[in-house]
A and B are shown apart, each in its own frame.
Chain A
């Protein structure tokens, strides 16, 4: 039994050492290079006598970033990837919660460190990626590791206005990658096209599928997702065979008529996740890639990115709604009704998940962890932690699960999780905003801010950009004399939505 992702890497290196593991538009790196770079970085960190601590990694969208992650793992620590293009205030919040033992950055992000606040030391990847490897030290660290050790922490939107750091263990990640590989039939011949930002949960597939199987990941530049003709040509040039993308990354090429130009000729497997896929869009993909397998994945970061999958069996019709399918192998997924009992077949309730893919909780946030990861209320006999997703679902007669929206005000925008309460809370702190309400228009895929006060839309947008990531900024800001209210004093959201 394998208990550490580095065992995967070491096995893969024996078989496929000279093969390309990761590539970007400028460089590519073989598995042999990945392991030596990671061991060098691991040794350099270990020599600082840091063990079992979080290490922030602020590194760009290139093929050395996964090496830095794996280097942190070699050192006996766990990494928290942070996107250096996030607003400074956001990075500061993350650093404050994380309290890292070290910040590891690439040279292009080095300047950024001057603008953020932290009290730990820093290290530049390029300065230690050829550090002399101390194999004995690395072996010793491994001997004291186990599969429940944290592997990484990924931060996601929190409703109280602070990002939450979801901790995932080696074991959870390995469960997910195994289950995903089975469904998508991934092997060493695959070439994956990475779309997800490397600090985002969806990127774990693009990082760890090569580590496990010896396949390759092509890191596609972000700008290509705005230029779908270039994107498709690049995917064909690189012979990309399999992608795990956000729904919006598949929607944009269709909206921009990319198939008039051509198609990604080698693409055989497509998994999409992050939000509900429109069958109008999927139909066009199916028509253009008739031999390709499409898989709808559902699940939260708290269950290692996933819970369930649905392999689309037939050609869809425009008005079909895709189910979320079956639980992945080794995942327990079930529905609890309002009385905290297992829902009957066909009865709606909250989708819950338990099993080894469950996260270890939220880092440095005992309170939120206790609230979200709870004892299964149905199980009175032994300890069984579950995560309540806050999503509504039901189990069909045929054993397939369906998704029926959210219980709270969390939405999915461009594949990212957004708590509308957090957006609203940030807007409320701004000068010139007296009252506000944030709503999501699902049909137009727009986050809309309604507000009253002196501020202009431009002022609000500029201020919000200073503390929130781009995908959380309302795309429409509408000034009102007053926010409509219900008799109980709460915002009349129905009235707002009809304005």
Chain B
């Protein structure tokens, strides 16, 4: 899963060091516009439905946060 997410992120923003950045939202590295694309791509790739309540900084500040978020959805479904 990690590799797949990294691939999506690298394509979205090749200039960002996603391995080491842990404050992607809080520090404003990802723009709101990036989040729109990212939510679409992650939903498609993992066949999950992200709700607006999922879109909080903790879930998108780091790749780890995104993995946890996706896992919680996969378990529910």
Contact = CB atoms under 8 A, between A and B. Distances in A.
Nearest to B53: A229
B33 A248 contact: yes
B71 interface: no
B52 A258 contact: yes
Interface string A456-476: 011001101100001101010
B40 to A, nearest CB: 8
A368 interface: no
Interface in B48-72: 51-53, 55-57, 60
B39 interface: yes
B64 to A, nearest CB: 18
Contacts of B14: 457-458, 461-462, 477
B20 interface: no
Given A223-B57, A226-B60, A465-B15, A257 B51 contact: yes
B56 A227 contact: yes
Given A256-B39, A414-B33, A445-B33, A226 B15 contact: no
A226 B30 contact: yes
Contacts of B39: 256
A299 interface: no
Interface in A250-277: 252, 255-258, 260-261
A361 interface: no
Interface in A215-257: 222-223, 225-230, 248-249, 252, 255-257
A468 B67 CA distance: 31
A448 to B, nearest CB: 13
B66 to A, nearest CB: 13
Contacts of A340: none
Contacts of B31: 226, 414, 470-471
A225 B26 CA distance: 11
B36 interface: yes
A85 interface: yes
B55 A228 contact: yes
Given A226-B25, A461-B14, A473-B15, A256 B56 contact: no
Contacts of B32: 225-226, 248-249, 252
Interface in A370-395: none
Contacts of A473: 15
Contacts of B35: 226, 252, 256
Contacts of A458: 10, 14-15
B33 A252 contact: yes
Contact of A229 (B25, B33, B36, B56): B56
Contact of B52 (A222, A256, A471, A475): A256
A227 B51 CA distance: 11
Contact of A260 (B25, B33, B51, B56): B51
B13 A223 contact: no
A196 to B, nearest CB: 13
Contacts of B15: 458, 461-462, 464-465, 473
A229 B55 contact: yes
A441 B52 CA distance: 27
A229 B52 contact: yes
Given A252-B33, A252-B35, A255-B36, A223 B26 contact: yes
A470 B34 CA distance: 11
A465 B39 CA distance: 24
A465 B51 CA distance: 32
B55 A461 contact: no
Contacts of B10: 458
Given A248-B33, A256-B39, A457-B14, A222 B55 contact: no
Interface in B1-60: 10, 12-15, 25-26, 28, 30-36, 39, 51-53, 55-57, 60
Contacts of A225: 32
Nearest to B58: A227
| Max chain B Cβ within 10 angstroms of own Cβ: one of A226, A229, A475 | A226
A470 B51 CA distance: 27
Nearest to A259: B52
| Max chain B Cβ within 10 angstroms of own Cβ: one of A252, A258, A260, A465 | A252
6 contacts: A226-B57, A226-B60, A229-B55, A256-B39, A257-B51, A261-B52
Interface of B: 10, 12-15, 25-26, 28, 30-36, 39, 51-53, 55-57, 60
Given A223-B28, A414-B33, 12 more contacts: A222-B28, A226-B32, A226-B57, A229-B52, A229-B53, A229-B55, A248-B32, A256-B35, A256-B36, A256-B52, A457-B14, A475-B12
- Ranked nearest first, the 8 interchain pairs of A and B with the lowest CB-CB distance are A461-B15, A458-B14, A225-B32, A461-B14, A226-B32, A252-B32, A226-B35, A255-B36
